[in-house]
Amino acid sequence: MHPNDVGPTPAQRWREGWWAGARAVPSPNEGPRPPGVVPELVVIHSISLPPGRYGGAEIEDFFTNRLDCAQHPYFERLRGLEVSAHFVVRRDGELLQFVSCDRRAWHAGRSVFRGRENCNDFSVGIELEGLEGEAFAPVQYRALVLLLRELRAVYPIAHVAGHEHVAPGRKADPGAAFDWQGLQRALDWPVACFAPLAAASA
């Protein structure tokens, strides 16, 4: 690139809530946000299908309602479920997008954040390929930092929380091994933006 060339602006990198930096895998499991509501929260999840196995097509198949539940005994508990997230960060750092960020993905379920219920209405859901309680790959954190910066450039993102923080007692991901402090340092956002760090400093 020539020094005087200007790269695409954030608005140019996004088209109707889809980010050019992720591979689009549209999911049918989505819907409109309530009128006037925009994403202000990011909810971090972890997922692996079956648990502890990485790199296969099962996550994509699950979020697009194509998962063959006869493939593995664990999948029987997923039969009939219709869920999604906006993004998945694979173990190798690849980013997949399943739902436009202008739309509501079905990721948080019964949830509440700072007294506000139904987090799906006002959040972006990001799944990290991994097992709750176990470490995530450094390349996943790098991809997550890039994605969070992109999101904040186009949406009024004010907070980042784990699924465990918006659905305590029901969910435990991404788990104790997730490096919240490292994420905060990499982004250089205020501590108050990160739910577990804000709670610890209160």
Instruction: Report residue 16 as tokens.
Output: 């109707």
Q: Is 58 a catalytic residue?
A: no
Cis peptide before 50, with omega less than 30 degrees from 0? yes
Instruction: Report residue 47 as tokens.
Output: 């997922």
How deeply is 154 buried, as exposed, middle or buried, from its count of CB atoms within 10 A (0-12, 13-18, 19+)?
middle
**Candidates 30, 60, 127, 129; catalytic one:** 127
Residues 23, 97: Cα–Cα separation, whole Å: 6
Intra-chain end-to-end CA distance of the chain, in Å: 46
Indicate the SS3 state at residue 28: coil
Cis peptide before 138, with omega less than 30 degrees from 0? no
> Active-site residue numbers?
127
